[in-house]
Every structure is written in structure tokens, then in C-alpha cells.
Amino acid sequence: MAYLRWRRFTELASLDRPWLGELFMRKRNKPIVAAPVEKWDAEYQDGIYDRLNRSEQRHHHRLLAAVIGDRWPNPRVLEIGAGEGVFYEALRAHRPARYVGVDFSRPAIERGETRLAPEIAIGEVKMLLGDGRTFATDETFDVVVFSECVEHLGEVEDLVAHYAPNLKPGGAVGLTMWLALKPLRLWHCLKAMGQVLDEAVINTPWGGGWLVAVVRPKDAVE
Ligand SMILES: C[S@@+](CC[C@H](N)C(=O)[O-])C[C@H]1O[C@@H](n2cnc3c(N)ncnc32)[C@H](O)[C@@H]1O
């Protein structure tokens, strides 16, 4: 318990002090290794992520959806690494005009197609199979969301540059991230790339926390 408390303290303190995170990070020179698609496929097939549908596992989705809905009425949202589209459940209350979820795991996309079948049928939602590092579309969006997946998608600069053409003027990147020292580097990187419109931490009773943020990249002028 004392260790967990210490860890939370260092994570929270590192949000604005990258040097502190680097100081306390174990295995700091070991890169973050992205999991292969087979691992995700097996986990979705085994229903491991069913637990993510539980209410107490979705506070980060709800906050990000509300922050988006506040700024962009009837938002158009592209979610990369969307899994089975659970984020849409939170977005629905904000009457999105468009939601496109992209994931490289076929079982995840298939589950998403079932989950969101009514919205897919009327053309408001699409669930697409694709690699989030290279996915390309001509559509433009108010927000491109990376929820619990940015650490699997390579360098943040490359990612934001790749999706910049898909942002409408004044559009932004939405992020949720489980708080941990190593992935915080990615947050610091994203933060440095533009204007932070919103940033919050949701603490959970079981000791973890999510970072929820919206950043307007420098080039996405209003
Ligand atoms: C922890 S889940 C998060 C799912 C969803 N964004 C959410 O918040 O509920 C991470 C997702 O990222 C996806 N993913 C990982 N690497 C990816 C890649 N290179 N391209 C597309 N999706 C990827 C996985 O298949 C998985 O569905």
C-alpha cells in the first residue's frame, strides 16, 4: 500500500515535472514495446475486455466525451485503437454527428459492429479494420481520439503529423492514458506539440488513475 501511494505521488508530481518521472522510472532505457495484433485478437476472443464495459472502468471515457461534447456540439470523432467501440457509448450522450472507430484487431472490430449495429445501419458510425499507425481517410473530424492506446502506436510526433490532415480547423487530439511513469513521456511529447485545452486526472478507489486530455496541435489553427 505504501509503495502504491508513493507511486501515485511520483506519477502525479511527474505530470508537470518530466525530470522527476525520469528520476524515479525503473528500466528507463527500456523502450515501450507494442503488443502484436495476435495478443489483442486472443484477448478480445477470450472476452478479457468485457470488464472494460463496467461503469467504474469508463470514467475516463465519460470525461473525455463530455469535454469533447462541450467544445464541439454534435462532434465528428475519429478514434484510433478503438477496440470494440466502447468509447462511443460515452460519446452517444453528446449526439455525435459522426464516429469512425479504427482498430487492427478483427475480433474487436467485429464486436464493435455488433455493439453499434443501429448507428452503423443509419450511417453515423463506422468500425474499420486498420493499423492505427498508417490508417488513411479523406474524412475530417473535430477530434482524433487515442484512448488507452497511444503507447502502442509509435512516436507521438509521427502520429499527430499523420492525422493532422484529418483535423478540421480548430480540431484537436483527445487522449486518455492509464497513469504510469513510462508512458508519461508520450504525454509530455504531445503537450509540447500544441495548446492544452483540457487536462485532468481521474483517481480510482483501487489506486490507479487516468489522465484525460485534449490538445490542439499548433498547426490546427481556429
Ligand atoms: C486497451 S485497448 C483500448 C480500446 C479503446 N480505445 C478503449 O478505450 O476502450 C487498446 C486497443 O489498441 C488497439 N491497438 C494496438 N495497437 C494498434 C495499432 N497499431 N493499430 C490499431 N489498433 C491498435 C488494440 O487492438 C486495442 O483494441
Q: Measured in angstroms, how far is the CA atom of residue 2 from the centroid of ligand 1?
A: 32
The 10s digit of each residue's pLDDT in 116-157 is 999 999 999 999 999 999 999 999 999 999 999 999 999 999
Quick check: CB of 81 below 6 Å from ligand 1? yes
Quick check: CB of 83 below 6 Å from ligand 1? yes
Q: Measured in angstroms, how far is the CA atom of residue 109 from the centroid of ligand 1?
A: 10
Q: Let me know: does 144 contact 216? Beta carbons within 8 Å.
A: no
- For the chain, domains (ranges, CATH) are 2-217 (3.40.50.150)
Residues 6+ apart with CB under 8 A from 122: none
Q: Please give the number of the atom of ligand 1 that sits closest to the Cα of 79.
A: 6
Burial string for 172-205 (b: 16+ CB within 10 Å, else e) reads bbbbbbebbbbebbbbbbbbebbeeebbebbeee
Mean pLDDT of 16-26: 81
Quick check: CB of 87 below 6 Å from ligand 1? yes
Residues 6+ apart with CB under 8 A from 213: 174, 175, 176, 187, 190, 191, 196, 198, 199, 200
pTM of the model: 0.94
Residue of the CA atom closest to atom 9 of ligand 1:
86
